[in-house]
Chains A and B, each alone.
Chain A
Amino acid sequence: MTNIENMIICRCEEVTYGQLLSTANEHKCSARELKLRTRAGMGFCGGRTCRVSIDKMIEHVKPNITPGDIPLKYQPPVRPVTFGTVGEIK
């Protein structure tokens, strides 16, 4: 594998450029599907670091995104929190 294929894009889940590109090419998928197939963007930082890279890769493989939609949906909590914070503390 070349250097660039081994390059990590999602640092939290350690997903490489090569993995993302081959998955995107094989399935011609949306950003969401790419995320679910590879776990890119599903780590600790919530995709804050790799979101733009993933969007750009998808755009390259499958142009014409709808302008109103955010490709990788945001979900609460948008910051890492403890179970105690989100749940009821008894």
Chain B
Amino acid sequence: MRDVIVIGAGPAGLAGAISCAANGLLVTVLDEFMKPGGRLLGQLHQEPSGEWWNGIKEAERLHQEANKLAVDIRCGISVYNLEQEGHHWHVHTNTGRLTARFVLVATGAAEYPIPVPGWTLPGVMSIGAAQVMTNVHRVQVGKKGIIIGANILAFAILNELQLAGINIDRIVLPEKTPISGKAAEPEEIMKSLLQAAHLAPSPLLRFGGRFMKHDWIRKLGLTFFPKNGVKVNGTPLQLRKAAVEIIGKDQVEGVRVADTDVNGMIIPGSETIYEADFVCIAGGLYPLAELAAVAGCPFQYVPELGGHVPCHSEIMETPLEGLFVAGNITGIESGKIAMAQGNVAGLSIAKQAGKGTGTIDQQLQQAVQNIRNVRQNAAIQFNPEIDKGRKKMKELWKEHYAKGDEKFHKIG
């Protein structure tokens, strides 16, 4: 019988499966997509060092490594429920039930939209859908597009669309509503862009990072923000314009846009229509934690991590015996970090299973340290306060679930 079932063949799941298998455990990986790699399959960006991060290559490398260790990878299978019975976990899938003592849930993140009037028209998609169509399926999403929402994911994917020769006309903000909230406030966006200035796509924002730390300078900056916006890789980013409606009869024909003040309030009579044949909405990402929830795992709301996350320790255990988590389900971060977390989860499982050599504790500590190193050098950071979020979870764990320090040091 298998020892471990990994749900999700993204960087976290594959890395976890590899470190379990390398320590002599029998592993099955399940994923509902048709091939392994998860969100890696859509990723292509340049690191600050100038090197390219090619997600498809990373996915292939992980897949090969897993194959060498005889990991059983099954694609096209959806898990719809997860139940504990005694010391075992039942994993219910659309092709039957599998059982194992250990389960690693590595289901990644999901996108949330910001609804805009007209967003149900054909031709409107999430920014992630544009990424998948372009980089995974190699389908041209349209001829001229507008992105609604300015965040790091939008900029990364803007770049990928441009590399594929697809024209993005401009980036505007959503209209201010209780749902869009801060995503519609030019000042808030400016602040988050400045915090991420070291990875800013535009020299102007990089410049801003050093000089626009003070509130009043920022306000001044926004007041004088060029009406046509700043350019991100040649595409205008217009923080003082809000999309009030996506228009079109049977499909997208354009976006009705209004000017706003620095707080995102619409200036009456300022509306114009910009033509487009597709629209990407960049809302944001949240941890896809549905399976941990139906399994009965306790949760905590940590906004810095992207929303509700299953409670977990630094070594990726949950309060439920045999249930582990890794990757974006624990907080929204980049692919490399998911991989580093997967490795920790795998070692952690191996340790609990009594596998691994005498050095397993040492390996585990090194692997935890490695997550921190990778985080420090990350090219893409979804939340500038990620460290704060991670710390909150660590403290929560210590307070409620840690059984002294013995867990970390028991064996070896």
Residue numbers of A with Cβ under 8 A of B are: 3-4, 6-9, 11, 17, 21, 46, 48-49, 51-53, 56-57, 59-61, 65, 67-70, 73-79, 81-82, 85
Contact = CB atoms under 8 A, between A and B. Distances in A.
Contacts of B290: 46, 74, 78
A85 to B, nearest CB: 6
B286 interface: yes
Contact of B94 (A17, A74, A79): A79
B201 interface: no
A81 B95 CA distance: 10
Contacts of A61: 178
B110 A53 contact: no
Nearest to B180: A56
Contact of A68 (B92, B112, B113, B299): B299
Contacts of A68: 298-301
A65 to B, nearest CB: 7
A74 B293 contact: yes
26 contacts: A6-B117, A8-B119, A8-B120, A11-B120, A17-B179, A46-B290, A48-B110, A49-B113, A53-B112, A57-B179, A59-B178, A61-B178, A67-B300, A67-B301, A68-B299, A69-B299, A73-B293, A74-B294, A76-B294, A77-B80, A77-B81, A77-B92, A78-B79, A78-B290, A81-B78, A81-B94
Contacts of A8: 115, 119-120
B312 interface: no
Contacts of A59: 178
- If over half of A's interface residues share one DSSP class (helix, strand or loop), that class is named, otherwise mixed; here it is loop
Contacts of B119: 7-8
Given A8-B120, A52-B307, A60-B178, A17 B115 contact: yes
Contacts of A76: 80-81, 92, 294
Top 10 A-B residue pairs of the complex, sorted by shortest distance between their CB atoms: A60-B178, A77-B80, A52-B112, A76-B81, A74-B293, A67-B301, A3-B117, A79-B80, A78-B290, A79-B78
For this complex, into which size category does the number of interface residues on chain B fall?
A: 35 or more
Interface in B64-114: 78-81, 92, 94, 110, 112-114
